[in-house]
Amino acid sequence: MSLGLFSGMSKQRDAEKRAKRYRELIRKEAKIGGELFGPLRDGARREFFCLNRDTWVWHEEWIDEQNRHHAITTRYDVRPNGIMKAQDGQPYHYISRDEAKNFYKAVQLYNQRVQNELYRGGL
């Protein structure tokens, strides 16, 4: 009986470790992705990352000249017939051909940098 209890606790700890490691990797990937689009102002934060096979997230925060905090989160869902985009709770809509080309370039750069900096030697 106690062996089963310890086995269950061990599996739970392993799952917690995997979840923690996944969150750490997503944070690192998001930071790398946020650097693809140029420098940030002081106090600003930008993230761009792949949440799962079909979902990408862009998040940016900054303080304006009047010391007001701003944050924008954009979600891209890649679908067989196009890329849908939603921003800050607004409804999804298909992006334009030009925006899709820019998105594709960003995804390529992201994948290259993440592979080179995080998974091939940066860990």
Class of domain 31-118 (CATH, top level): alpha beta
Q: What is the pLDDT of residue 3?
A: 57
Question: What are the residue boundaries of the structural domains of the chain, listed by start?
Answer: 31-118
- Say whether pLDDT at 4 is over 80: no
- Asked whether 37 and 60 are in contact (CB, 8 A), the reply is no
What does pTM read for this prediction? 0.80
58 is written with which tokens? 């862009």
DSSP SS3 for 115 = helix
Q: What is the pLDDT of residue 79?
A: 96
pLDDT in tens, 90-115: 999 999 999 999 999 999 999 999 99
Q: What is the pLDDT of residue 74?
A: 97
- Asked whether 28 and 47 are in contact (CB, 8 A), the reply is no
Q: What is the pLDDT of residue 10?
A: 76
1-10, 70-79, 87-96, 110-119: the lowest-pLDDT one: 1-10
What mean pLDDT, rounded, does the chain reach? 90
d(CA 70, CA 84): 23
- Asked whether 37 and 21 are in contact (CB, 8 A), the reply is no
